[in-house]
Amino acid sequence: MELHVVINGRKDLAGQLYQQLRSAIETGRLAAGTQLPPSRLLAEQLGISRKTISDTYSQLTYENFLTGVTGKGTYVNARPAKIQRKQSHSELASSEVVESWRNLPVFLRHPTLEGSLRYDFIGGATSKGQFPQDDWRRCTSHALRQIAGSKGFYSLPEGLPALRNAIARHIAFSRGVNCQDEDVVVCNGAQQALDLIGRVLLRPGSLVAMEDPGYPPARLLFGSHGATVVGVPVDAEGIQVELIPDGTRLIYVTPSHQFPLGMPMSQARREALLARARELGAIIIEDDYDSEFRYEGRPTDSLQSMDERGIVAYVGTFSKTLLPELRLGYTILPPAILEAVIRAKQLTDLHTSTLPQWALAKFIAEGCLLKHIRRCHTIYAGRRERILARMAGDLSPWLEAVPTVAGFHMVALCKVPIDVTLVIELARKVEVGLYSIEGFFYQQTPRAGLLMGFGAIETLDIDTALDRVRDILQQVA
């Protein structure tokens, strides 16, 4: 009797075989003690090389799914019974702390491949098809050669000198940030930068002020350090500085592209914010998450470039310009907290993986990053224009776009009463991903609207998707 395995096409033959055999063993279709066909016979049956079969058998044997018996063959190994660990977290002495973490809401989690939709207006995601795979592969090969020639020691917690230099040069050119190599700390994404700054500035009861609506993961992170987070309302010019309370130690803002609404902070408001922070003795975190993509008007200076007293910590990420999976970010720190943050980084994870650091350093130094940003800018600009045209056209009875000149998302506010939750639910049934802005509000009254990300949806899919949204709005509004 032949073993039932189906091979499709000629790509990733070993992967296909491995997944099917492992699945069959895990589900019990191949019972413990079952003998598998010799590699030669299975190779003839499937029409693939014997080496592919042997390598797959070896991998599954290494993972204890199979066992080889000398002179007899290869057999399915008996799987150990799963131990039922009955202790509940409520029985722990730290149950209150565990429960507080279990109850934290989940925000902005991207779907798995299986859970993704055909047309998705998700925020914070980029089109993977635009990523320069060949350039990155070449830079990764360079990184492997650098690692092969190293002594095998742990690296610097603040990051590789080559990458710190490349980042300092890049952001000075693209964002006017005033910094030297030694001011840069490389992190595992912007979220780690926020965590490290919070660790060295906050204690239980410390006061943090941030925009409301704002970025929920930052609010939850500061709260996890025991801080009291105050939501400060925003208007057309940005955060309302006069409402930042006395006693605030940390102020978190997104001045170049307010998250999620999108408007930039005015010059007057920036000057007022710097003055208020100096008065409070507070540090400002400037999260400049996607402002390298700008479509209208004159470029705005970073808040950090206006800072004459060393009170702004500038945070950036490569998740928006490259890929979120790389988990590479950085922070430009004022002297007062630089050494403390480096110590905190060393304690938490020693350092960020050096392989992507070497690759990114070369990628930036060779001009690949700027070339990639320029190419994506043209694509995102076209997508933005298409969505704005539809908002001003057949979607205008229900939705109004908030003016935004940067990034790759916009907010569409509801002009009439709409059950946004129902619209989102109905859109998913026709393969369109929509997202409410309600969860971005903290202490302010939420407004009804949608976050429309255009980084991941293909340009030619926008009209098809918005046609479906229009039809849903006609049904429910």
- In the CATH hierarchy, which fold is given to the domain comprising 119-129+371-476? Aspartate Aminotransferase, domain 1 (3.90.1150)
Predicted confidence at residue 259, as pLDDT, reads: 95
Query: What digits encode the pLDDT tens for the residues 30-82?
Result: 888 888 889 888 888 888 899 999 999 999 999 989 988 888 889 998 877 66
Q: Which residues pair with 251 in a beta bridge?
A: 209, 284
Q: How far apart are CA 388 and CA 220, in angstroms?
A: 32
How high is the pLDDT of residue 82?
A: 64
Rounded to whole angstroms, how far apart are CA atoms 148 and 358?
12
* Beta bridge pairs of residue 400: 413
Average pLDDT over residues 262-284: 96
- Of 16-30, 85-99, 409-423, 458-472, which range is least confident? 85-99
Peptide bond into 161 cis (omega under 30): no
Q: How much is the average pLDDT of 199-217? A: 97
In this structure, which amino acid lies at residue 454? F
Please provide the CATH number assigned to the domain covering 131-366: 3.40.640.10
What is the tens place of the pLDDT at every residue in 171-190? 999 889 999 999 999 999 99
Q: Considering the entire predicted model, what is its pTM?
A: 0.83
pLDDT at 201: 98
Residue identified by tokens 């934290």 is: 104
Q: What CA–CA distances, in Å, run from 348 to 102, 153, 159, 342, 467?
A: 21, 18, 14, 10, 48
Average pLDDT over residues 416-421: 95
pLDDT of residue 113: 58
Task: Name the residue ranges covered by the structural domains of the chain.
Answer: 13-76, 119-129+371-476, 131-366
- Distance, in Å, from the CA atom of 255 to the CA atom of 354, rounded to the nearest integer, reads 31
Cα–Cα distance for residue pair 267/3, rounded to 1 Å: 71
Class of domain 13-76: mainly alpha
Tokens coding 241: 């500085």
